[in-house]
A = this chain, B = another copy of it.
Amino acid sequence: MKIRIVVPLAIDVFNNIALDEALLFKAPDTDIEVVNLDGGYDRIDVYSNEKTITYTLPFIVDKVMEAEKEGCDGVFISWFGDPAVDASRVAVNIPVVGGFEPAVHMASLISTRWSIISPTPGTVSTFRMLARKHGLEENIASMLTVNVPLTDERGIEEKVLPLVEKAVDEDGAEAVVLGCTGFGRLASNLARQMKIKGKPITVINPSAAAIGFLESLIRSGLSQSRVTYPESLL
């Protein structure tokens, strides 16, 4: 099967990271491709608010339709806030997921309440609205933010661990969702460090959950509901 990852930027600097990560978690018969947008932004911080994201949505839908035309079996829009996922599901017949939905459903299956740790305070209420939209708000233990530039690798790593610990110790989190596709690679290391501290906790990488859900849907011959997302005749 062929899964295409759409990194919703006009630049390709994150493509290799996205590809390497997907290769770690995919099944042996899955081919992964990574593409960018034909328009939109060349800087990563635009994804911190709803206004700038909105200008990229048409380009994302274009790329999803292109993937279907070119024979892909499924598409992962690689950003945690699920940009253009609903519109893309209307536009194509192959299954489409973003980063949010697969991760929080995975978290809800293996635990009762979970926390999301994400890069900027500006996205907290967006993520809460997404959880509500999918009927999962009561499973939120807390929503925490790092508030470090996404480009500061070391800063992120140092800041996320104490938040994982706070989620477990103070907020009643039973699992942790990394709320940024750029954080995903930290998941296994964070889980290891928490185990050393005697506080074992499941940490979910949204990219791994997205690839897993797509593979499962594709193998079962399923896609998004045509009632929820009716076919566009235009």
In the complex formed, the residue of B with least CB distance to A126 is B86
Provide the bound-state CA to CA distance between A95 and B109, in Å. 11
Check if A224 sits within 8 Å of B111, measured CB to CB.
Answer: yes
Check if B209 sits within 8 Å of A51, measured CB to CB.
Answer: no
Q: How many copies of this chain are found per oligomer?
A: 6
Provide the bound-state CA to CA distance between A84 and B152, in Å. 31
Check if A227 sits within 8 Å of B27, measured CB to CB.
Answer: no
Check if B228 sits within 8 Å of A112, measured CB to CB.
Answer: yes
Convert A130-155 into 0s and 1s, putting 1 for each residue whose CB lies closer than 8 angstroms to a CB of B: 00111111110001000000000000
Q: In the complex, how many residues of chain A place their beta carbon closer than 8 angstroms to a beta carbon of chain B?
A: 85
- List B contacts of A110 (CB < 8 A): 95, 217, 222-225, 228
A residues 151-204 near B (Cβ < 8 Å) are 168, 172-175, 188, 200-202, 204
Provide the bound-state CA to CA distance between A90 and B48, in Å. 11
Check if A87 sits within 8 Å of B53, measured CB to CB.
Answer: yes
Known interface pairs A111-B228, A212-B216; A234-B175 also in contact (CB < 8 Å): no
Provide the bound-state CA to CA distance between A15 and B224, in Å. 31
A17 lies within 8 A of chain B by Cβ: no
Provide the bound-state CA to CA distance between A212 and B95, in Å. 15
A153 → B minimal CB distance (Å): 22
Provide the bound-state CA to CA distance between A175 and B89, in Å. 15
In the complex formed, the residue of B with least CB distance to A46 is B234
A101 lies within 8 A of chain B by Cβ: yes
Check if A212 sits within 8 Å of B201, measured CB to CB.
Answer: no
Check if A188 sits within 8 Å of B221, measured CB to CB.
Answer: yes
Convert A16-52 into 0s and 1s, putting 1 for each residue whose CB lies closer than 8 angstroms to a CB of B: 0000000001111100000000000000011001111
Among candidates B101, B133, B168, B215, residue contacting A132 with C-beta atoms closer than 8 Å = B133
A71 lies within 8 A of chain B by Cβ: no
A205 lies within 8 A of chain B by Cβ: yes
- List B contacts of A133 (CB < 8 A): 129, 132-133
Q: Which of A26, A50, A133, A213 has the most CB of B within 10 A?
A: A50
A-B contact pairs, 6 of them (CB 8 A): A106-B216, A110-B222, A111-B224, A111-B228, A125-B228, A208-B220
